[in-house]
Amino acid sequence: MITFLRILFLGILAAMLWVTARASMDTAIWQLPAALTGDLWFQATLADAYFGFLTFFVWLSYKEPGWPARIGWLVAILLLGNIAMATYCLIQLFRVPASADLREVLLRKGTA
């Protein structure tokens, strides 16, 4: 399972880097047209993404023992979204052997 998750999150990270770089080369985010940013579905999708980021942050806060790391990851997640989240998951997944139980990744150190 750990190997599968490593591959999955590497794929997510690569895909997010590719689509973000591609979009950034086309239009700067602060130059998005008002017709787009005013669209209710655009706003709903953006709210959905950020509530998902905060949901992930709740788990991350459980995992991370100190506030400096929590705050640093919160800033990274709010600025980079799934790029930061995939990176965090990969860090956690590469801290354990491939044969590890998934509890070692999901739970705090010492609670697995």
- Segment 23-69, tens digit of pLDDT: 999 998 889 999 999 999 999 999 999 999 999 999 999 999 999 99
Count the neighbouring beta carbons within 10 Å of the beta carbon of residue 60: 20
User: 63-96, pLDDT tens digit by residue?
Assistant: 999 999 999 999 999 999 999 999 999 999 999 9
pTM of the predicted protein model: 0.90
pLDDT for the residue numbered 111 = 65
Confidence of residue 109 (pLDDT cuts 50, 70, 90): confident
Q: CA-to-CA distance for 77 and 5, rounded, in angstroms? A: 19
Q: CA-to-CA distance for 94 and 3, rounded, in angstroms? A: 9
Q: And the tokens for 104?
A: 């070692």
